[in-house]
Chains A and B, each alone.
Chain A
Amino acid sequence: MKETLLSNCERDFLLQAIAEKKRLDGRQTYDYRKMKITFGTDYGCCFVDLGKTRVMAQVSCELVAPKESRPNEGIMFFNIELSPMASPTFEQGRQSELSVKLNRQLERCLRNSKCIDTESLCVVSGEKVWKIRVDVHVLNHDGNLMDVASIAAITALCHFRRPDVSIQGDEVTVVSPKEKWDERYPSSDHVFFLSFCRTYLLVDPCEREERVMDGLLMIAMNKHREICSIQSSGGIMLLKEQVMRCSKIASVKVSEITELLIKALENDKKARKEGGRCGFAESMPQERITALKFEETSVEMTDVAERASDVVQGAEAPPLMVPSPVVPVPGVGQVGLGLQNTWGLEEEDDDEEEEAEECANRGEEGEEKVTKMEVERHKKDASREGQFT
């Protein structure tokens, strides 16, 4: 299905919001959405959620003959599947431009960065090596697929347990995967999506923001703050300082995400050791609505408050004088109840005030009575005006 056209109204609104540094769901410009990592019952299966974008990665392995040119190294194979489940614009079976781009980027980032030591995948040199296959399935597309796919691939690789192999002469026996931890803990790589709209930089765009963006900068960095790959697409011209700034942002995010990843792996390991049930089914909340649900987002309310205070400030300043206490009975005083008018000037000023109110002219002067009532009246005026728009 072809993508539905983005209306002019939405495009203008999004660009204007970005210019004012506001995002649709209340995030700051450099904020990530809420990330959640869960594991399946098998080793090597993991689900990663980033806001509404959802991706599943599965790692599997088999013994094969190695490549002719590299008899000592194992083989790694990556595959990203974009199915129509993720978005109506993805077609089954057809290699779209996006899927080619994602596949290339994932391969380049994970293979060339040598996050897995392929030499240790060798079993019998020249004859049998491990072929590790990482399949990434996109379950829901709400922007920033590259990031989530790379995090899912890395997490699945960390979670995976390779079966033990014992060699006796010419025989190679494979024992089922045990507790042996995969020694080469892949130094976590993360790809970061930084999108540019005109001259504004956004991190982690959601789907609508992606459609409005001009260009894209992807930085793959590991936790030792080494850049593994940078790719810029969309034809935007970037200055050196901008690229430096982006890499600094990326390094901050890498440490956060690596922490989250390690914590998730620890939790899962603990759960398995205790013999508790683990897996995808356990991570789903019971008896809760899971569709059409909105996560609690903190939407900034500060500007809205400013308008109200602007209204109040636009009014005349209240008098600094404190109304003098009324003493009905010796020993008892009454201050500022609002019932007693302590000003000497009476009726004619009252009428003036009524007129001023009816014209909804806050700027006109009127005699002020008590501070509180003044503020209330202005609020009432503002809300009345609001109702007429």
Chain B
Amino acid sequence: MSSALRDRTGEVLLPGDEFSFDTDDTISLTGPVKPEKVVCGPGLRRSGDRLLVCKSGVLRHKPPNMFWMDSQQRRYVPAKGETIIGIVTVKSGDVFKVDFGGSEQASLSYLAFEGATKRNRPNVQVGDLVFSQFLLANQDMEPELVCVDSSGRANGMGVFGGGGLLFTVSLGLVRRLLTPHSEILSDLKQLFPCELVMGMNGRLWVKSCSLQQTLVISNLLQSCDTMTAQQRRELFRRVAQGAL
């Protein structure tokens, strides 16, 4: 089956397409046979001995055996371990309620900040932006956020943001920006120096030297969502020429 999957990597698949064991998959009787293992990522689901596609998109593959569907959406569904940008809405007793764009608000305990104790409370106000990660993200329970990693260090998380602009983009764009050698980011670096926080819930926060540059960068990022690489490079070049 993994050969069938590999053949169709890069194709656009629709929900309902399935992969099953072919009857003429030959198994060698003489040599040692290793059971082939396929790791299904988001968008693929196993039912019985078939593999079903449940989201429309492009099939991607990461060797040795990981497959997933690369799809586009704007609505965020919380997943454990993902870092997001949230807005604090309610401050009640020991717990903050944070809105991250999902179906309900997540809870963030005041002790989940670096160096926070019962006496030493973190300085968080209603309306502040927090960069945090999901500790618990089930579909049946209220999601929980923390601003420390497992060793108790902040690692870049916590309250932030004075003077920048928050805007929303599609989830696919954020994932593209977060890849290790993102082209978009390297193109952007050559334009203006800026500070950029990327939340996987589709929210981006940007701050640059002047208000004008911040507006330019936010408009650029919002518009390069649906552009091909060529169009995007053309656009960035036009902006660079206009600026300098």
CA distance A26 to B239 in the complex (A): 14
Indicate if the CB atoms of A292 and B226 lie closer than 8 Å: yes
A332 adjacent to chain B (CB < 8 Å):
no
Find chain B residues with CB under 8 A from A389 CB: 193, 195, 209
Indicate if the CB atoms of B213 and A304 lie closer than 8 Å: yes
Please pick, from B99, B127, B205, B243, the residue contacting A8 in the complex, using a CB distance under 8 A: B127
Within 8 A of A (CB), among B211-229: 211-216, 218-219, 222-223, 225-226
Given contacts A12-B163, A292-B74, A303-B212, contact A7 B219 (CB under 8 A): no
Find chain A residues with CB under 8 A from B163 CB: 9, 12-13
Q: From residue A111, how far is it (CB to closest CB) to chain B in Å?
A: 39
B23 adjacent to chain A (CB < 8 Å):
no
Indicate if the CB atoms of A4 and B212 lie closer than 8 Å: no
Indicate if the CB atoms of A7 and B242 lie closer than 8 Å: no
Closest residue of chain A to B105 (Cβ to Cβ) is A4
Tell which of B13-21, B138-146, B164-172 binds the partner.
B164-172
Indicate if the CB atoms of B129 and A305 lie closer than 8 Å: no
A359 adjacent to chain B (CB < 8 Å):
no
Indicate if the CB atoms of B215 and A299 lie closer than 8 Å: yes
Indicate if the CB atoms of A7 and B128 lie closer than 8 Å: yes
Please pick, from B127, B161, B170, B211, the residue contacting A20 in the complex, using a CB distance under 8 A: B211
CA distance A196 to B107 in the complex (A): 36
Find chain B residues with CB under 8 A from A386 CB: 192-193
Find chain A residues with CB under 8 A from B212 CB: 22, 300-301, 303-304
B244 adjacent to chain A (CB < 8 Å):
yes
CA distance A12 to B125 in the complex (A): 15
B95 adjacent to chain A (CB < 8 Å):
no
Indicate if the CB atoms of B125 and A4 lie closer than 8 Å: no
Please pick, from A8, A22, A301, A305, the residue contacting B128 in the complex, using a CB distance under 8 A: A8
Indicate if the CB atoms of B125 and A8 lie closer than 8 Å: yes
Closest residue of chain B to A296 (Cβ to Cβ) is B223
Indicate if the CB atoms of A305 and B211 lie closer than 8 Å: no
Please pick, from A6, A10, A292, the residue contacting B225 in the complex, using a CB distance under 8 A: A292
CA distance A349 to B165 in the complex (A): 46
CA distance A24 to B216 in the complex (A): 9
A283 adjacent to chain B (CB < 8 Å):
no
Indicate if the CB atoms of B226 and A293 lie closer than 8 Å: yes
Q: From residue A208, how far is it (CB to closest CB) to chain B in Å?
A: 9
CA distance A20 to B213 in the complex (A): 13
A289 adjacent to chain B (CB < 8 Å):
yes
CA distance A388 to B116 in the complex (A): 31
B78 adjacent to chain A (CB < 8 Å):
no
Given contacts A10-B165, A20-B211, A305-B243, contact A292 B127 (CB under 8 A): no
Q: Please encode chain A, from 353 to 389, with 1 for each CB lying within 8 Å of some chain B CB and 0 for all others.
A: 0000000000000000000000000010000001101
B180 adjacent to chain A (CB < 8 Å):
no
Given contacts A5-B126, A9-B164, contact A294 B225 (CB under 8 A): yes
Q: From residue B202, how far is it (CB to closest CB) to chain A in Å?
A: 11
Closest residue of chain B to A309 (Cβ to Cβ) is B244
Find chain B residues with CB under 8 A from A12 CB: 162-163
Find chain B residues with CB under 8 A from A20 CB: 211
| CB-based closest 9 A-B pairs | A386-B193, A294-B223, A8-B127, A301-B242, A9-B161, A303-B212, A304-B243, A7-B87, A5-B89
Question: What are 15 pairs between A and B in contact, CB < 8 Å?
Answer: A4-B87, A4-B89, A5-B87, A5-B89, A7-B127, A7-B129, A11-B127, A13-B166, A13-B211, A292-B226, A304-B210, A305-B242, A307-B210, A379-B244, A389-B193
* Chain B residues proximal to chain A, CB less than 8 Å: 72, 74, 87, 89, 99, 101, 125-129, 161-166, 170, 189, 192-193, 195, 205, 209-216, 218-219, 222-223, 225-226, 239, 242-244
Known: A4-B87, A7-B127, A294-B225. 7 other contacts (CB 8 A): A8-B128, A9-B129, A9-B165, A11-B127, A297-B219, A299-B219, A389-B209
